[in-house]
Chains A and B, each alone.
Chain A
């Protein structure tokens, strides 16, 4: 339903500009691979486990192998190397092969380099196992969603974060929130995990400001939520983070453990974690291909721009970035229904008519991306120690969410300015959201905006600015625009930041069996 009469031609042209901006980026992406992508290929091929290189710090076998091989061999694609080894030692399983490579007991001089079709044929059983498992988890999830459904639909899906640092405590918080009406549980990662160039291993009980994303932790939480889903007769979705230096590995972990959503956005890593832009855009593409196949929904992080750049003046940055993210996501094979673009309620509450501005922005994003499960973020930046006032801000935010028919509402916390949510903080948040979503159940259908009123004018103005802004980005190029600080007022150097040394150019015979298999997979 369109309510604010946005100019369709401008929207179409924004999409064309996004295509034009993305084009050279995609060419660059296709020519390169990264250590993270190769490690995820190993994971998919069934290489598992970790060794304690340092005490108490298990380091994944996939990292040990990739480190050992070095970029010279990786240029061919790690799958090509593995196929060559398998060709010579057909009886070695993954564990044996890993051991031999790590110990330096494979004589690479004596291996034959195989053409991709031969490599593909040799690795077929391992490839098939991986794909079958991912598909199984996808169908399982789809069945559960179908069988249990959402219960009585009441407003946007309620999204709650847990972040105790201890996965077993997280389970308690998550199950409790689900029982109070939460639909989506996101486990926030430990501070600065995104800068680790490996994925921690096993169940973890200590984290700062979040809980480590490990495959075991994913499994523990998914199992707990399956149990709760059955108990409640309502499917509870699970979300984690595929971002940072291990973006693609975490996508594989999410696919294998049946996660429903992954926060997945290179721009976030670039701007807010100082991860090298090229590295993370390459990783993002492959991770999104895996995600597409796994039927996971991505969520992007444009909402965060409004914490560093003033929300009142900079909504065009968010919208422009959403157009770009949409384009890049589609090129990686994601369907609209899998693209959860992020936006936020971050205008300074002391600005007059801030509620109207928020309404306009939320309605605008809703109409421009009608089939995307938009992720609507609560006020955070302007929250302070007055938890009572913050609670009111969240109520206003929930009103906008129901009035504009948002898909996913990340519930705000009154205690945002102080700590990761305590059990009771989430309780207030859910109680108030349950009330508002029920009280405003049909508001979206009944509300219209005055033609040429403040809401419409605001939306039109932001769309116009976005259009001009995208033009400028198109002239400069995406990398250069980021260098100039055009997003979030966070300039980042093209070759600066973390993880740049993990990029390499692919050799002509580069082989990654999953690249071809997962091409265009979301659109089934």
Chain B
């Protein structure tokens, strides 16, 4: 069966990562990790699209949810009405099952006529070049006469260290060296449960060049709150290095959200330390290199 196949090649297909690190390859379960390995390619998408199920523009969508009522004919109709109110046409209840006497579970399929105009989409992105490990060390080594002081912490009561460790640890993450391994950085990882006041103290004491903060507990947007708290703390203090580069990250973070709340950059799931190091190198050269004599 022949299907119109025109725009396919231009959209949504990342090149396969040509990773040499077999660990990174193994983890291709994480498409984000795989995609993140490549340098950002500036792509412009054109035209309007709909959801794709079987054929172009069919708008097929699958949803599942729970209703606080027993599984019965009325529940089935309620489920269909919900779908309709969500703008899903030709909805059908594929599956209804009692969770218990008071709750029922649904799988619903339908078609959604909504269209999205790709031309209207603007995503702020970090567009620095991706450098290699040695490149960064050489570059910063030549242009700066000192190591950059880089502090990291997972803040508030959050006890998750794995994310910030992935960025810092000497041995690296998915085959990519962490910041501690770079000779151009003095990397200090305070790990988790770090109060923002203590972090601010440390930033001032060390006259840090870069601060990296992590938040993995995100319930009720507590990550955003905590990230803001650090900024507020820093602005209430004296002797905070004026050119401090502020970076935040975590599984629910995007670069856009980070800049919206006043950080210089934000990193999300699947980030590799090399990407962060490249950003730091680019930004540091802009901010600090001119000062050097």
Q: Is A348 an interface residue (CB 8 A)?
A: yes
Check B27–A348 contact: CB distance below 8 A.
Answer: yes
Name A's interface SS: loop
Say whether, besides A191-B217, A308-B165, A273 and B105 are in contact (CB < 8 Å): no
| Residues 246-290 of chain B, each 1 if its beta carbon lies under 8 Å from chain A, else 0 | 000001000000000000000001000000000000000000000
Nearest B-chain residue to A352, judged by Cβ: B26
Check A209–B162 contact: CB distance below 8 A.
Answer: no
Q: Is A102 an interface residue (CB 8 A)?
A: no
Bound form: Cα–Cα A363–B88 in Å: 49
Check B66–A424 contact: CB distance below 8 A.
Answer: yes
Bound form: Cα–Cα A350–B161 in Å: 22
Check B161–A176 contact: CB distance below 8 A.
Answer: no
Chain-A contact segment, one of B3-11, B96-104, B144-152, B201-209: B96-104
Bound form: Cα–Cα A381–B216 in Å: 13
Q: Is B29 an interface residue (CB 8 A)?
A: yes
In the bound complex, residues from chain A placing their C-beta under 8 Å from that of B97 are 427
Residues 272-286 of A contacting B (Cβ, < 8 Å): 272-274
In the bound complex, residues from chain B placing their C-beta under 8 Å from that of A424 are 64-66, 99, 105
Check B26–A351 contact: CB distance below 8 A.
Answer: yes
**A274 touches which of B26, B193, B222 (Cβ 8 Å):** B193
In the bound complex, residues from chain A placing their C-beta under 8 Å from that of B26 are 348, 350-351
Q: Is B220 an interface residue (CB 8 A)?
A: yes
B45 CB to closest chain A CB, in angstroms? 22
Q: Is B235 an interface residue (CB 8 A)?
A: no
Residues 148-164 of B contacting A (Cβ, < 8 Å): 157-159, 161-162
Q: Is A195 an interface residue (CB 8 A)?
A: yes
Check A180–B100 contact: CB distance below 8 A.
Answer: yes
In the bound complex, residues from chain A placing their C-beta under 8 Å from that of B158 are 191
Check B162–A273 contact: CB distance below 8 A.
Answer: no
| Residues 98-141 of chain B, each 1 if its beta carbon lies under 8 Å from chain A, else 0 | 01111101000000000000000000000000000000000000
In the bound complex, residues from chain B placing their C-beta under 8 Å from that of A307 are 162
Check A195–B165 contact: CB distance below 8 A.
Answer: no
In the bound complex, residues from chain A placing their C-beta under 8 Å from that of B217 are 191, 208-209
Residues 37-67 of A contacting B (Cβ, < 8 Å): none
| Residues 338-351 of chain A, each 1 if its beta carbon lies under 8 Å from chain B, else 0 | 00000000001111
Bound form: Cα–Cα A274–B160 in Å: 11
A425 CB to closest chain B CB, in angstroms? 10
In the bound complex, residues from chain B placing their C-beta under 8 Å from that of A308 are 161-162, 165
Q: Is B219 an interface residue (CB 8 A)?
A: yes
Q: Is B30 an interface residue (CB 8 A)?
A: yes
Nearest B-chain residue to A194, judged by Cβ: B159
Q: Is A192 an interface residue (CB 8 A)?
A: yes
Nearest B-chain residue to A386, judged by Cβ: B29
Say whether, besides A191-B157, A208-B222, A381 and B162 are in contact (CB < 8 Å): yes
A492 CB to closest chain B CB, in angstroms? 10
| Residues 199-213 of chain A, each 1 if its beta carbon lies under 8 Å from chain B, else 0 | 000000000110000
Nearest A-chain residue to B106, judged by Cβ: A424
B288 CB to closest chain A CB, in angstroms? 32
Q: Is B87 an interface residue (CB 8 A)?
A: no
A68 CB to closest chain B CB, in angstroms? 28
Check A423–B161 contact: CB distance below 8 A.
Answer: no
**B30 touches which of A175, A195, A274, A384 (Cβ 8 Å):** A384
Q: Is A89 an interface residue (CB 8 A)?
A: no
In the bound complex, residues from chain A placing their C-beta under 8 Å from that of B193 are 195, 273-274
Residues 201-239 of B contacting A (Cβ, < 8 Å): 217, 219-220, 222
In the bound complex, residues from chain B placing their C-beta under 8 Å from that of A180 are 99-100
Check B222–A389 contact: CB distance below 8 A.
Answer: no
Bound form: Cα–Cα A398–B157 in Å: 33
Q: Is B28 an interface residue (CB 8 A)?
A: yes
Bound form: Cα–Cα A150–B26 in Å: 42
A487 CB to closest chain B CB, in angstroms? 14
B190 CB to closest chain A CB, in angstroms? 11
Check B66–A423 contact: CB distance below 8 A.
Answer: yes
Check B157–A350 contact: CB distance below 8 A.
Answer: no
What are 28 contact pairs spanning A and B, CB under 8 A?
A: A175-B100, A179-B100, A179-B101, A180-B100, A191-B217, A208-B222, A209-B217, A273-B159, A274-B192, A274-B193, A307-B162, A308-B162, A348-B26, A348-B27, A350-B26, A381-B162, A382-B29, A384-B30, A384-B32, A417-B251, A420-B219, A424-B64, A424-B65, A424-B99, A424-B105, A427-B66, A427-B97, A427-B99
Q: Beyond the given A350-B28, A420-B219, A424-B65, could you list 15 further A-B residue pairs with CB under 8 A, ordered by the A residue number?
A: A172-B102, A175-B100, A179-B100, A208-B219, A273-B159, A273-B193, A308-B161, A349-B29, A381-B162, A382-B29, A384-B30, A384-B32, A384-B269, A389-B29, A427-B105
Interface residues of B (CB under 8 A from A): 26-30, 32, 64-66, 97, 99-103, 105, 157-159, 161-162, 165, 192-193, 217, 219-220, 222, 251, 269
| Ranked 8 nearest A-B pairs via Cβ | A192-B157, A350-B26, A179-B100, A424-B66, A176-B100, A427-B99, A424-B105, A423-B66
